[in-house]
């Protein structure tokens, strides 16, 4: 084999990946700019009702004003705190429950129908019950963010545990490894990609849970601003809050992607 030829092929492959990444990013930017441009044009030409849908220029003006005087920052901080905490709690609880199910076949068989039913239930409908049980405060909103993601995390991660090649466990047990050691050395590391994929899904689910919780009971937060905007017919405030949610959720998603890259690099 020719080392120079191999190096050329490798460099060509890396350049191809870079070109593909640039193309993807370019299209993402084009779609984003086109969306806001069409929205602005549609609002100015009255293709859509500007009272209901506002316009990007009005949204930007309002956000600049709100961030300049600092009035929106407490709302962003409250919602972000609730979402991150709900996201972390839902993910950790889901992984813990999935681990317990993997360790006990009997428990997994007992819980299987209940998990399926709980996953099918509209968790948002549990909001009023959670608020009555936990009180109208941060705890109930964080609980909403956690509950909406914990069941799906449990199901996905447990399926990931079960799909790991059983030969790994057999080889470890042939050397006298315990079930805990098998889980630590083979099952858990092999399921990390599945857990990361679950984190990406949980970002959106946690935002849904928290915003719905703020709809129901909150005096602060982006969900509160959306409800308030509807009440006073300030739809620019509603759209501005939605844009802020989209931006912060996108940042959270990118952070999860960075964590994924780091884990793949250090556990691969």
Q: Is the pLDDT of residue 73 over 60?
A: yes
| pLDDT single digits (tens) 20-48 | 889 999 999 999 999 999 999 999 998 98
- DSSP letters for 213-248: HHHHS-SSSHHHHHHHHHHTT-HHHHHHHHHHHHHH
pLDDT confidence of 6, banded at 50, 70, 90?
low
Short-list 202, 233, 205, 209, CA closest to 223: 209
pLDDT (average), residues 82-102: 91
Query: What mean pLDDT is predicted for residues 58-64?
Result: 93
- pLDDT of 242 reads 93
| Domain 55-267 homologous superfamily, CATH | MetI-like (1.10.3720.10)
Token output for 85:
């905490």
Q: pLDDT for 198-247, tens place per residue? A: 888 888 888 888 888 888 877 888 999 999 998 888 899 999 999 999 99
**pLDDT score for 98:** 92
CB neighbourhood size of 229 (10 A): 19
Nearest to residue 202, comparing CAs of 52, 101, 58, 83? 83
Closest to 76 measured CA to CA, from 63, 89, 92, 87? 63
Q: 51: Cβ–Cβ under 8 A, 6 or more apart, which residues?
A: 233, 235
Predicted pLDDT of residue 8: 67
Stretch 53-66: mean pLDDT: 92
Structural domain spans, the chain? 3-48, 55-267
Cα–Cα dist 200/211, whole Å: 18
Top-confidence residue, 179 or 225: 225
Q: What is the mean pLDDT of residues 86-107?
A: 90
pLDDT over 90 percentage in the chain: 31
* Residues 151-177 pLDDT 10s: 888 988 998 888 888 887 788 878 888
**What is the per-residue DSSP string for 15-76?**
HHHHHHHHHHHHHHHHHHHHHHHHHHHHHHTTSS-HHHH--HHHHHHHHHHHHHHTSSHHHH
Residue entry with tokens 């350049």: 15
pLDDT at 45: 92
């Amino acid at each position: 084999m020719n080392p120079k030829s191999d190096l050329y092929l490798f460099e060509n492959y890396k350049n191809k990946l870079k070109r593909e990444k640039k193309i993807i990013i370019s299209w993402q930017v084009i779609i984003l700019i086109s969306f806001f441009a069409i929205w602005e044009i549609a609002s100015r030409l009255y293709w859509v009702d500007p009272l209901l849908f506002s316009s990007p220029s009005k949204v930007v003006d309002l956000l600049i004003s709100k961030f300049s005087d600092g009035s929106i920052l407490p709302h962003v901080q409250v919602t972000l705190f609730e979402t991150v905490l709900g996201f972390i709690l839902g993910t950790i609880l889901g992984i813990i429950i999935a681990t317990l199910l993997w360790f006990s076949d009997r428990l997994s068989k007992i819980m299987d129908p209940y998990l399926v039913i709980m996953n099918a239930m509209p968790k948002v409908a549990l909001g009023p019950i959670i608020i009555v049980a936990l009180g109208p405060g941060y705890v109930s909103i964080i609980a909403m963010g956690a509950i909406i993601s914990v069941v799906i995390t449990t199901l996905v991660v447990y399926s990931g545990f079960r799909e790991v090649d059983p030969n790994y466990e057999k080889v470890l047990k042939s050397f006298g490894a315990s079930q805990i050691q098998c889980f630590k050395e083979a099952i858990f590391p092999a399921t990390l990609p599945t857990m990361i994929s679950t984190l990406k899904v949980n970002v959106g689910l946690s935002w849904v849970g928290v915003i719905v919780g703020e709809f129901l009971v909150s005096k602060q937060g982006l969900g509160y601003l959306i409800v308030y905007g509807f009440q006073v017919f300030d739809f620019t405030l509603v759209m501005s809050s939605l844009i802020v949610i989209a931006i912060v959720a996108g940042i959270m998603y990118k952070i999860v992607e960075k964590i994924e890259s780091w884990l793949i690099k250090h556990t691969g």
